A and B are shown apart, each in its own frame.
Chain A
Amino acid sequence: MKLEKAGFGAVEVVDRQSVSVDDFTLYPLFTGDLITLMRTLIPEERQSSVATAVVVRAIRSASAA
């Protein structure tokens, strides 16, 4: 895992939330054409969870460079 390679320890995911296509409409990188593409190509029953928002915690190891 990239965080551990960088010198972090005690890496943990403390929260996970599903992200839907509707959620993505709020963010500027997800343009109208991309949202339309997602609504067209992703089966409706899967559109409620197309990504996961996570909260990650870690501690910088004392031994890191």
Chain B
Amino acid sequence: MTIDVRTVRYDDYRRAQGLVLPFKITTDHGVDGDADVVQIERIEHTTTTAETFRRPRPPNDFVIAGFQTCGAPTS
């Protein structure tokens, strides 16, 4: 059984948009010097669409050049 230890540090709390939020988030996966550091610069109220929380769309990166469909007899 694999054990994964992930340590998330929330630092630099400030008031923003009526909330108290961390402006620095550091995720350490246990590998020296390989922490993921997010430095938040801006927090704002926003609006969303139906797409916002939908499944991410895979990129359309597979195309066969000159491909054409053709009908096949069914009877």
The answer to whether A and B belong to the same complex is no
The interface of chain A, by Cβ under 8 A from chain B, is none
The interface of chain B, by Cβ under 8 A from chain A, is none
